[in-house]
């Protein structure tokens, strides 16, 4: 699926800051599985290291560096940590860089792809299904590499659960799920999108933009 608007890589690189998280909507079969299980548009997340270089945990190649231009064919969104410092950013990137070359065991995700979800599955089970058959659930999703790098400088991904006891069953389930995600490290690309600690930037929005200047076709 082509992007809604052409991605200007030169403009995107000028927009990006070190340690920005770039969410990607993939078009591979495995991407459809991840999007279904995480209930999100975003199937992949990469870390921007600066100077047109990104870091990702790739299904086939493991943790690798790659040029920003490779993201040109995809729908993307930038999630920027709000209160990060340049020192924090360098430590986050260094942590991710230290993992380059590591192979991630994602065989269980391919097993799910073979059976081709969507099969009937309660929404509350979908994220946990990613980790089925995995000795290390934190290796189930590429975004856990990025989450670990942020947590290394004590930057949060998800908010703290409320101290007061939830009053409804649904609220209790949400609090338990946050604790579960933290305990297993099973973060997904969607968590950066909904996190209150990241500012969402849509890089394909025209800049500067003034709706008064639009010409509507009659």
Residue 46 forms beta bridges with which residues? 22
Please report the pLDDT score of residue 31 as a whole number. Answer: 53
Under a CB-based contact definition with an 8 Å cutoff, are residues 185 and 138 in contact? Answer: yes
More confident residue, 104 or 90: 90
Alpha carbon 216 to its chain's center: 35
- Number of residues that this document lists for the chain: 218
Mean pLDDT of 193-217: 80
Q: What angle do CA 171, 135, 140 make, to 5 degrees?
A: 60
Domain boundaries, the chain: 9-213
pLDDT in tens, 151-197: 899 998 877 665 656 566 665 655 555 554 555 556 778 889 988 89
pLDDT in tens, 104-139: 655 545 544 444 445 555 555 555 555 544 445 445
Average pLDDT, the chain: 74
Closest C-alpha among 10, 144, 9 to residue 74: 9
Residue 67 forms beta bridges with which residues? 53
Query: What's the token pair of residue 202?
Result: 């849509």
Please report the pLDDT score of residue 108 as a whole number. Answer: 46
Q: What is the pTM of this model?
A: 0.73
CATH architecture assigned to 9-213: Alpha-Beta Complex (3.90)
Closest C-alpha among 203, 177, 63, 163 to residue 122: 177
Under a CB-based contact definition with an 8 Å cutoff, are residues 102 and 135 in contact? Answer: no
Please report the pLDDT score of residue 171 as a whole number. Answer: 56
pLDDT in tens, 97-107: 998 988 765 55
208: pLDDT strictly greater than 90: no
Burial class (CB in 10 A: 0-12, 13-18, 19+), 29: exposed
- Outline where DSSP puts E strands in the chain: 21-25, 44-50, 53-58, 62-67, 75-81, 198-201
């Amino acid at each position: 699926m082509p992007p809604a608007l052409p991605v200007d890589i030169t403009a995107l690189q000028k927009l990006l800051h070190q340690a920005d998280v770039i969410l990607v909507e993939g078009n591979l079969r495995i991407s459809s599985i991840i999007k279904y299980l995480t209930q999100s548009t975003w199937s992949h997340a990469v870390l921007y290291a600066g100077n047109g270089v990104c870091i990702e945990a790739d299904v086939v190649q493991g943790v690798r560096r790659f040029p920003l231009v490779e993201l040109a064919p995809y729908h993307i969104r930038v999630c920027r940590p709000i209160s990060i410092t340049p020192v924090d950013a360098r430590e986050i990137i260094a942590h991710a860089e230290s993992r380059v070359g590591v192979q991630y065991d994602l065989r269980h995700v391919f097993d799910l792809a073979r059976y081709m979800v969507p099969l009937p599955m309660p929404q509350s089970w979908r994220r946990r299904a990613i980790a089925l058959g995995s000795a290390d659930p934190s290796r189930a999703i590429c975004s856990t590499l990025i989450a670990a790098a942020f947590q290394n400088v004590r930057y949060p991904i998800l908010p703290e659960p409320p101290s007061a006891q939830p009053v409804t069953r649904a609220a209790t389930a949400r609090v338990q799920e946050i604790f579960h995600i933290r305990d297993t490290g099973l973060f997904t690309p969607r968590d950066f999108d909904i996190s209150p600690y990241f500012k969402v930037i849509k890089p394909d929005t025209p800049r500067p933009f003034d709706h008064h200047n639009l010409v509507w076709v009659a």
